Structure formats: C-alpha cells, structure tokens
Amino acid sequence: MSEAVMTRKATLIAWSDDLDKIYPTLILATTAAAYDVEVTVFVTFWGLLAFKKNNRGITGKDWMTKALSVMRKGGTKSLKISRLHMGGMGTWMMNKIFKKEKIASLDSLIEEALISGVKFVPCQMTMDAFGLKREDLIDGMGDPAGASTAINVALDSQINWFI
C-alpha cells in the first residue's frame, strides 16, 4: 500500500460558538495534526461566528442578518462559555484559569492549526444565511463548501466528530 493511501484523516464539524467547545475543537485539531493526521474542520452554523475577525462591526446583508451580527458579533474575543454565565463572570474566570495554566489562547491555537496544515472549511449555506463574506472571516480559511464536501471528507476519515 502506498504511503498516500495510508494517510489518516480526521474531520471535525465545528457547529458551536461556545468558548468551551471551540477550545477542544482546536486542541484536538492541532494535536491530531502533530501526529501527521490530515485534519479538516468544517465550520458551520454558530461555529462560523467564532471564526469571524474580531471587531468586524456590523455584518450581514439585510436588517435580520445585521441584527444577528449585533446580538452575536462573533470573533474569538466575544465567545462565552456554555455554563456558569453569571453575567460574563464565568467566561472571565475561565479565561483567567486558562491563562494561569498557560493553555494557549484561541488565537494562538488557530495560528498553530493553520501552520500545521489544518484546513478550515466555512459552510457556504451558513455564510449565505448569516450574510457573511470571505473578508468577514479570519485569514487562512479555505474556500466555502457545502454539506457534500463535508460528507465526502468524513467518509474517508478515521475520526469524525460533531462538536
């Protein structure tokens, strides 16, 4: 069997924009890449908001998608944890704990992922629905694609996770 055939693959569907879901997504993606696993992160639905540039301002193409971008502006700096909200104190504490433990920031993890070849594929349907343009997303994202792309990469992957 040739080496190419042996390449192991992992496909992560990043559906959530919770800080505590984006963290394991990026940690698992970068760790897998470190073991020469070909990693694709298909970024869909709320997940896409996590990969918006920070402080992008109002995005969207009509009043609804613009309103959505105000209510949930996205970007790594605005993500919240899914529990213990307490008016933002939970997220503040969690970020503080991560920093103290010297756990890499989301931005560093994304950078590390991109350097190690992790492919981030934005979901076309989500971009259309939320009225997001390529320039609204962080640099380094791949071309937008649909569910059929996700299915075909997933069929060929040893690891599939919906996060």
- To a second copy, the closest distance from the beta carbon of 92 in angstroms equals 10
Which is closer to a second copy, CB of 45 or CB of 140? 45
- To a second copy, the closest distance from the beta carbon of 41 in angstroms equals 13
Question: In which order are the strands placed within the sheet that holds 38-43?
Answer: 119-122, 38-43, 9-14, 159-162
Helices (H), the chain: 3-6, 19-34, 46-50, 63-71, 89-100, 106-115, 124-130, 147-155
Helix 19-34 with 89-100: angle, nearest 10 deg: 30
Which is closer to a second copy, CB of 19 or CB of 138? 19
∠140-56-91 over CA atoms, to 5°?
90
- To a second copy, the closest distance from the beta carbon of 2 in angstroms equals 18
Which is closer to a second copy, CB of 54 or CB of 146? 146
Residues of this chain that interact with a second copy (CB under 8 A) are 8, 10, 13, 15, 20-21, 23-24, 27-28, 31-32, 34-35, 37, 44-46, 64-65, 67-68, 71-72, 83-84, 86, 93, 96-98, 100-101, 103, 125, 128-130, 146-148, 150-152, 154-163
* Cβ atoms of residues 38 and 71 within 8 Å: no
Question: At which residue do the structure tokens 């918006």 appear?
Answer: 52
Which is closer to a second copy, CB of 61 or CB of 77? 61
- To a second copy, the closest distance from the beta carbon of 27 in angstroms equals 5
Which is closer to a second copy, CB of 120 or CB of 130? 130
Taking the CA of residue 104 as centre, how many other CA atoms within 13 Å lie in the half-sphere pointing to its CB?
Answer: 16
